Structure formats: structure tokens, C-alpha cells
Chains A and B, each alone.
Chain A
Amino acid sequence: ILNVEQSPQSLHVQEGDSTNFTCSFPSSNFYALHWYRWETAKSPEALFVMTLNGDEKKKGRISATLNTKEGYSYLYIKGSQPEDSATYLCASASWNYGGSQGNLIFGKGTKLSVKP
């Protein structure tokens, strides 16, 4: 059974601070790592999908890296803004569980609050 862990569970920062959080996942039979952003009362929305070791993706002030050998991914937000406040979910898909079906195993998420 896959176990995807995220840390920290919650984070409170001031506007302008840069922040990062971690997602760890089993590295064996890894296929893909997804990051989703979930704002309260809205739909979780995909930020990044990464598959290759060393992958680095960027979207505006948000970027993510992937290390499949050691089984972790970092999400970075540069110069946090109040509108970045959301829960950030990571999810992993492997060949063992759901690899052929593409089903994702999620972590608990990191809840980010950015104060103006």
C-alpha cells in the first residue's frame, strides 16, 4: 500500500515570505507525481504533473522539483501572496497500485495561510 506524506500540515506566513513544503512517496515503481491546489469552496486544481527524476516545473511564482530515487518532491512559492492561501495536495501514482488505471494516492495536504 502506498503512503504519501506531506509536511508541514499547516503553515502561516506573512505576505512576501517565500515558503516550501515537502511531499514524500514510495520511490519503488513510481510513475507520476501530481500537485494540486485546493482553495476553500472551490475545486482542487492541478498545478504540476511530474514523471522524471530531476524534473523541475514552474508556474509564475510557484515551482516544484522531483526526486524519484529518494521519493520526494518540493513545492516552492516565492513571495507568497494572500491569494496563495489554499491547501496544497500532492498525489502519487505507481505501477503497483493504480499504475495501469492511473489512480492517485493523496497525502493529507499542507494548508497555507498568507497574512497581508
Chain B
Amino acid sequence: EPEVTQTPSHQVTQMGQEVILRCVPISNHLYFYWYRQILGQKVEFLVSFYNNEISEKSEIFDDQFSVERPDGSNFTLKIRSTKLEDSAMYFCASRQRREPNEKLFFGSGTQLSVL
């Protein structure tokens, strides 16, 4: 069964460093998302992406964040200068259609720890 893959599974970085989290969505999906969950808190929407551009972003997704689909398969989230509060589990998700009743397919997440 096709699945969303994320790498790395764990990332430890120093505050102020740049990190790139990578995702390979399911191949025939057109809509891509990043979510995150800070320990003990809710899963939060960061950004949605379609047709090589951002469709919608949350207040969390400030200038320090960017997303890119550099080739036909990868979808990346970059944090330019990490802060302690960026420590979280980051999930990539994809789906074929953007309708709200279409389920999301998630990757297994990247646990980011900022020291």
C-alpha cells in the first residue's frame, strides 16, 4: 500500500541552526500539508501546498518557515533559524483531493529537538 515517507525520523539541532525536514507524499496525491505536535499539545496545522505554491498557512508559519517541492517527489519544510519552541513532532500529509471529507495520509513524523 502506498505511504507517505518522512526523513529523518529524529533530528537534533542547535538553536539558530537551519533544518530541512523531508517528505515523499503518495505519488498520485496533489495536496500536501505540514502539521506539528508539541508534546502534550494539539496537532497544529502549519501549511498546505498545491500546484507548487502555498494554498494556506497558519499564524505559526512565519518567515522562518518555508516549503518547497524541489522535484516531482519530495516536499520539504525548512526552518531557517530554529528556536527552542520549534521542538515538536512534524508530520507531513497528503491527499488526492482537497475536499474536507477526504482523509489525510500521514507520514510517521520527524521528531525535532532544538537544544
* Total residues of chain B contacting the partner, CB 8 A: 29
Interface size class of A (residues with CB under 8 A): 20 to 34
Contacts of B45 in A (CB 8 A): 98, 103-106
- The answer to whether A43 touches B103 (Cβ under 8 A) is no
Q: Let me know if A102 is at the binding interface, CB within 8 A.
A: yes
- The answer to whether A45 touches B106 (Cβ under 8 A) is yes
For A108, the closest partner residue in chain B by CB is B42
Contacts of A91 in B (CB 8 A): 43
Cα A64 to Cα B30 in complex, Å, equals 29
Q: Let me know if B100 is at the binding interface, CB within 8 A.
A: yes
Contact (A106, B43) CB under 8 Å given A98-B100, A101-B98: yes
Cα A105 to Cα B40 in complex, Å, equals 16
- The answer to whether B42 touches A31 (Cβ under 8 A) is no
Contacts of B104 in A (CB 8 A): 34, 36, 44, 46, 104
By a beta-carbon cutoff of 8 Å, the part of chain A in contact with chain B is 4, 31-32, 34, 36, 41-46, 49, 51, 89, 91, 93-94, 98-99, 101-109
Sample (20) of A-B pairs whose CB atoms are under 8 Å apart: A31-B100, A36-B104, A36-B106, A42-B108, A43-B4, A44-B91, A46-B105, A49-B101, A98-B56, A101-B48, A102-B31, A102-B98, A102-B99, A102-B102, A103-B45, A103-B48, A104-B45, A106-B42, A108-B41, A109-B43
